[in-house]
A and B are shown apart, each in its own frame.
Chain A
Amino acid sequence: MKIGVVTFPGSLDDRDAQRAVRLAGGEPVALWHGDEDLRGVEAVILPGGFSYGDYLRCGAIARFAPVMQSIIDRAGQGLPVLGICNGFQILCESHLLPGALTRNVHLHFRNRDQLLRVENASTEWTGAFEPDAEIVVPVKNGEGCFVAAPGELDRLEGEGRVVVRYAGGNPNGSVRDIAGICNERGNVVGLMPHPEHAVETLTGPSTDGLGFFTSVLTAAVS
């Protein structure tokens, strides 16, 4: 299965996301921000980094990249899309997901190994996990504090769209410890933590992150 990984100017974890796709058994395909062609991929990852230097607002410029127009169209038709960190910010700016990511409450960039609870194990990107599974995945962000209007938050909670929640301490002040959410259909998922950095015991705190990538491969097969 071909999974596209978009490179924007300033993307950093693009090659890491490609490696994770490969280790999960998929075929990574590099997608370029300026190119509308999705090259026949069956899922897309928007990787972490600082697209366009985070100028204006994180993700605010990337959202207008030609490749995003194709991704927004196809996401509406069910294409699985995973946004990680800066990718999550781009998904919010694109209105594929509600809410916004703001400066961490303590105003510092923070990199740590983070305990997470998978609250929705039925999205395209989390099917491989047991419900309520606790996993360890790195977080590393300066603007990862998720906010949304109270009504929106209640709706997300009510519809089971909080996909992942911080456990054992909230690293950035996100409301209701939200670490990741999905759209109504469950094909678009935004995650602040970095599963692509938890795919090998040698370089990560765990291999728990692999589940996000195997999920979409399994979903595609079935």
Chain B
Amino acid sequence: MIDSVERAEGTPEQPQPYHELGLKPEEYQRIRDILGRRPTSSELAMYSVMWSEHCSYKSSKVHLRQFSELPHSDALLVGMGENAGVVDIGSGYAVTFKIESHNHPSYVEPYQGAATGIGGIVRDILTMGARPVAVMDPLRFGPADAPDTQRVLPGVVAGIGGYGNCLGLPNIGGEVVFDDGYLGNPLVNALCVGVMRHQDIRLAKASGPGNLVVLFGARTGGDGIGGVSVLASETFAAGGPARRPSVQVGDPFTEKVLIECCLEIFAADLVVGIQDLGGAGLSCATTELSSAGSGGMHVVLDRVPLRDQTLAPEEILMSESQERMCAVVRPSDVDGFMEICARWDVTATVIGEVNDSGRLTIDWRAERIVDVAPRTVAHDGPVYQRPRARPSDLDNLLADDPGRLPRPSTPEELRSLLLRMIASPNLCDKTWVTEQYDRYVQGNTVLAQPEDAGVLRIDEHTGLGVAVATDGNGRFTRLDPYAGAQLALAEAYRNVATTGARPLAVTNCLNFGSPEDPAVMWQFAEAVRGLADGCRTLGLPVTGGNVSFYNQTGAAAINPTPVIGVLGVIADVGRRTPMALGSVPDEVVLLLGETRPDFGGSEWAWSEHHHLGGRPPTVDLERERALAGILIAASEQGLLSAAHDLSDGGLAQVLVECCLRGDVGAHVELTGDPFEALFAESAGRVLVALPRERVPRLADICRAHAVPVTQIGAVQFDPVLTVAGQFDVPLAELRAAFTGTLPALFGTPQHRE
């Protein structure tokens, strides 16, 4: 029997499985109060999924407000609240970018979880009216040698490649990090960048009574329904569909065709509003579109094209089948719209109509199954001020200073430490991962991993381009969430500036444990406050992002891991600064910034001693701003031949990476304690290289910005990294150590020479 509105009115006492759908008793009561009756099962399904943590941000909302309260930025064309923020990069171009998580599905089913993570973020970008032009993937896994990592990592990487490569999106950067806490809780974040002209920006709203609602793309199936199956089994006790897989299955070919189809539709100006179908599927799209527009919509659910004719209406409303979009189209434009869809073999169906009734009404088999004020579903979900408490173990952690750990005491020990460090899973070469991604497609990739930031050409004639970097450090954030979030922001900001681009905007993916744990909630609140304050100091707007809670197994939460994405603009990508040494004669190497004995939360403490304690490095955002000013000015004046930011693993790591990238040796002389000089992780430092005769000009810029600069060495003809008075390591030995780790762990592809 169909659980219609009429039936719901007549059976107020019928028990409903709100608990199984994740609603609290008071939330269920609130739905009853809003409707003035019990919800139908379809309405209950819609409220339950839209009021879930994932869709409603009910635990994070009170904190995230700080991002929208940041000072106005002229660069921001569309701010938070839409599918993705949009930034003005000049010359009439706008860029949209956003990062999202797909952590839980990727643990359950690594390939499809990661693949549909790409698919979802790409549709968000497309929905804004933009052509998606690149993706990036910050990834975090359990220990590299853990059996489950052997299952999760190869699947995730293959899924990202399988989906992203097939969409024709270059993968230009990201991270691969291993840490015990991510065992059972891998973090699979995905960032997408899109480009459009200013006038092409589209918004998710259903305006204009009489306009038609068109569902297009893939047919709706039974995937990604998850818990809502309980409703269906209650409603159709006998002969109903079996329990469905909760992870969606992606089809990148359908999405690629959908992208091209949408871009043609946009170019012909045939949509009034558009929304992709992601989490919460049609429930989300219809309620968000109507509440942002004229306020009402009527949908005939029978018209939704199905893959599986046995689906119940609740399931159709909830289905998270991929590669679907919902557009609002003027009646006079429907023929043109359908023509473009037919050209691309995209299924498109008019499923409803916009009205100004203030109600979203949905019919199924000629009965009314939904009659709600859409705003109550989409925006008036519960908001919680969750209790927060500083973790009880934090004082002990902070007091456990890494100064007590044994350090290398001889040049020989220092040399073998260097070789061990560059071979450690977090610091080693990530080619095993990144060569499974296409970085060339679209022909505009100027820099890609392992460079500091991905750099894309936007305009072939002027060379206008953008740079994007993502960074996060769960260990720093565990020790001090406020500082940890700012360190992640500072690193992404520095990475963008290192290429010569001017940072413009921030997106974030906040990966945390359970918000019901006061200690996690404290970490979250501190991290958000740190990030908001940091953005204020750097003068950057937050354009959007994503919160992922419940990344924990049992009582153990992951290290709090805000992953920060920064986007910058560069007027001419021809002057981007790469990381490889050796491109110019008589090249000298200088260090910008100051080194202090910062080992709290460092890679050295972790990989050598499995130690996490002490204080993370001090973050000085004014100094970061000054440093960025130097890097941008030096790039504009064409001074630098190479630059590379110092972060995990310190100076030693950067020297090795810059030498190997350029296949040249370097000779450096260090002052002070050589171990601290090589491995400390003080923030605000960048290695730069340039022809010797330009050094005075760089020194002038550094003086003007009040940032210390030290000449530490030069590129040398011999293929050897020399640390004067300490040790020499031939490049071949460095390369063998740096590149051997991941193939040894995850399999060496055979060659037929």
Contacts and interface: CB of A to CB of B under 8 A. Distances in A.
Contacts of A138: 440
A52 B256 CA distance: 10
B438 A9 contact: no
A79 interface: no
Contact of A202 (B161, B162, B166, B457): B457
A165 interface: no
B392 interface: no
A54 B166 CA distance: 9
Contacts of B440: 16, 111, 138, 140, 194, 197, 203-204
Interface string A157-198: 000000000000110011001000000000000000010110
Interface in A38-59: 48-50, 52-55
Contact of B162 (A19, A55, A109, A203): A109
A12 interface: yes
Closest 4 CB pairs of A and B: A53-B253, A106-B749, A12-B168, A197-B440
Contacts of A200: 443
Contacts of A194: 440
B455 to A, nearest CB: 10
Interface string B711-753: 0000000000000000000000000000000000001011111
B376 interface: no
Given A9-B345, A50-B252, A109-B161, 17 more contacts: A12-B166, A13-B441, A15-B442, A53-B254, A54-B166, A106-B750, A109-B158, A109-B162, A109-B436, A109-B437, A110-B749, A111-B436, A111-B437, A140-B438, A170-B751, A170-B753, A202-B574
25 contacts: A9-B253, A9-B345, A10-B166, A10-B256, A10-B257, A16-B441, A16-B443, A49-B168, A50-B165, A104-B749, A106-B747, A108-B158, A109-B436, A109-B437, A111-B436, A111-B438, A111-B440, A112-B435, A170-B753, A194-B440, A202-B446, A202-B573, A203-B443, A203-B445, A204-B440
A105 interface: yes
A170 B442 contact: no
Interface of A: 9-10, 12-13, 15-16, 19, 48-50, 52-55, 104-106, 108-112, 138, 140, 142, 169-170, 173-174, 177, 194, 196-197, 199-200, 202-204
A18 B647 CA distance: 41
A194 B438 CA distance: 12
B253 A105 contact: no
A108 B749 contact: yes
Given A10-B256, A10-B257, A203-B443, A53 B251 contact: yes
A169 B752 CA distance: 8
Contact of A170 (B158, B254, B434, B752): B752
Contacts of B150: none
Nearest to A106: B749
Nearest to A107: B749
A110 B253 contact: no
The residue among B166, B167, B252, B750 with the most chain A CB atoms within 10 A of its own CB is B166
Interface string B329-373: 000000000000000110000000000000000000000000000
Interface of B: 158, 161-162, 165-168, 251-254, 256-257, 344-345, 434-446, 457, 460, 573-574, 747, 749-753
B252 A169 contact: no
A15 B443 contact: yes
Given A53-B251, A111-B436, A169 B443 contact: no
A111 B166 CA distance: 13
B752 A203 contact: no
A104 B254 CA distance: 24
Contacts of B254: 53
Contacts of B747: 106
A110 B256 contact: no
A54 B162 CA distance: 11
A53 B258 CA distance: 13
B705 to A, nearest CB: 29
A9 B257 contact: yes
Given A15-B443, A169-B753, A55 B253 contact: yes
Contacts of B166: 10, 12, 50, 53-54
Nearest to A14: B168
Contacts of A48: 441
A133 B165 CA distance: 30
Contact of A203 (B251, B344, B437, B457): B457
Given A53-B251, A105-B752, A202-B457, A111 B443 contact: no
B26 to A, nearest CB: 47
B344 to A, nearest CB: 7
Contacts of A169: 751, 753
B339 to A, nearest CB: 14
A50 B253 contact: yes
A110 B574 contact: no
Given A106-B749, A109-B165, A52 B441 contact: no
B172 to A, nearest CB: 12
Contacts of A142: 165
Contacts of A203: 440, 443-446, 457
Contacts of A173: 750-752
A115 to B, nearest CB: 13
B752 A111 contact: no
B133 to A, nearest CB: 12
A173 B443 CA distance: 26
Nearest to A34: B343
Given A106-B749, A108-B749, A111-B436, A10 B442 contact: no
Contacts of B753: 169-170
Contacts of A110: 435-436, 749
A200 B252 CA distance: 29
Contacts of A104: 749
Nearest to A198: B440
Contacts of B435: 108, 110-112
Contacts of B165: 50, 109, 140, 142
Which one of B168, B254, B445, B753 has the greatest number of beta carbons of chain A within 10 Å? Answer: B168
Of the listed residues B158, B434, B437, B752, the one surrounded by the most CB atoms of chain A closer than 10 A to its CB is: B752
A108 B436 contact: yes
Contacts of A106: 747, 749-750
Contacts of A13: 168, 441, 443
A78 to B, nearest CB: 30
B183 to A, nearest CB: 24
A111 B573 CA distance: 23
Contacts of B257: 9-10
Contact of A111 (B162, B439, B444): B439
Given A53-B251, A109-B165, A203-B457, A9 B344 contact: yes
Contacts of B443: 13, 15-16, 19, 196-197, 199-200, 203
A54 B445 CA distance: 25
Contacts of B252: 50, 53
A108 B158 CA distance: 8
Contacts of B158: 108-109
A12 B441 contact: yes
Nearest to B749: A106
Nearest to A177: B752
Contacts of A177: 752
A104 B251 CA distance: 21
A178 B585 CA distance: 38
Residue in B345, B439, B749 with the greatest tally of chain A CB atoms within 10 Å: B749
